[in-house]
Amino acid sequence: MLTSDNLQAWRVLALTAQTGSLSETASRLGIELSKVSRLITSLEKEMGLTFFDKSRRPYRATPELTSLLNAVEPHLRAIDEACELSRARRERTVIRFSAPIELSRLYFSDVLLSYAESHPNVTFSLVPEQTVEGVLAGTVDAAVLNQPPGYAPELTVRLYHITSTAVLATPEYLRRTGTPRSPADLAQHTGLLLKTVNLNPTHCLYKDGTPSGMLRWKSVFLSHDQIALKELLLEHRGLTVDLSLGHVIDELKNCRIVSVLLGWERAPWHMCLVTRRDREAQLPELRRFAEFIAKKTGDDWTAVTQAGRQAILRQAGFLLPNGL
């Protein structure tokens, strides 16, 4: 076999051009010094070129070698990238994933586990909800956010669902305290509101694009967990404007929870999955997972939100039980 057909010979040559030292090249590649010298000498003979000015230390590449490496090194990089991709496919990829606590508990835990079962080279570390700064800092590989970040070219943002939430209460709570007829009436009620690392409490409602003005409450309870708000709601402790309809479909259908102030809703959540572009380039499995999870989550939550809205319309008498 010709030495020019030997990939290692070209790696030796390219590295020696950088180091200017045969011994340094041998040390970095973990091969014998005599082999480094032999490969370079053999390539020189085959190519009919002199590669180094050896009258100086460290060795300096000749113009002929510089020209040759300009043509060869892109191919070496392409081979290295292909080898790295193959190695990444064989090795287990750990994806650090974050989402709001109730979504992690009720939805994503099962989805991630199912994905890992069908992709044996992928495993997940589910971490507490992160901000966009956590993604940028590399604390997490993929984060579910309720609003897209501002201009950030280093990020890939996959919007998967736009949704809002109605004003919800239980019939028992309304019997005790009365039913609000306008957003201003909420000043007579307890607000069960959501506050997370990515979300401030709702301060305004909208109807057909018209804002209500600043909301005022008799008292406020804040939680970072929508399921905690649901539990308090079912205990008749207040009203909420921050509970996803997907979490209360059954309760809406059987009227354990009802919608009040029909048409008034909080500002929409723009649910999205955010990753770093460079991490997706380094981990092809991360990109494939992000594409999958954005599509699946978008389809799933569009369906459950629609089911929740239909239940509210049935309560209001706009839909028959069969959906007509």
Phi then psi for 185, rounded to 5 degrees?
Answer: -70, -15
The verdict on 104 and 81 lying in the same domain is: no
- Ranking 88-92, 234-238, 295-299 by mean pLDDT, the lowest is 88-92
The string of pLDDT tens digits covering residues 154-184 is 999 999 999 999 999 999 999 999 999 999 9
The verdict on 106 and 22 lying in the same domain is: no
Q: Is residue 312 part of a domain?
A: no
Q: Across the chain, what does the average pLDDT equal?
A: 91
**In this structure, what CATH number is given to the domain that contains residue 282?**
3.40.190.10
Q: Is residue 48 part of a domain?
A: yes
Give the bridge partners for 222, in sequence order.
193
The verdict on 181 and 64 lying in the same domain is: no
Nearest in space to 72 (alpha carbons), one of 15, 34, 19, 2:
15
The verdict on 152 and 211 lying in the same domain is: no
The verdict on 212 and 292 lying in the same domain is: no
Q: Is residue 137 part of a domain?
A: yes
The verdict on 20 and 74 lying in the same domain is: yes
Band of pLDDT at residue 322, cut at 50, 70 and 90: low
Domain region containing 98: 93-163+271-304
The verdict on 106 and 131 lying in the same domain is: yes
Order the strands of the 190-194 sheet from edge to edge.
210-211, 205-207, 258-266, 166-169, 239-240, 190-194, 219-223
Whether the model clears a pTM of 0.75, i.e. scores above it, the answer is no
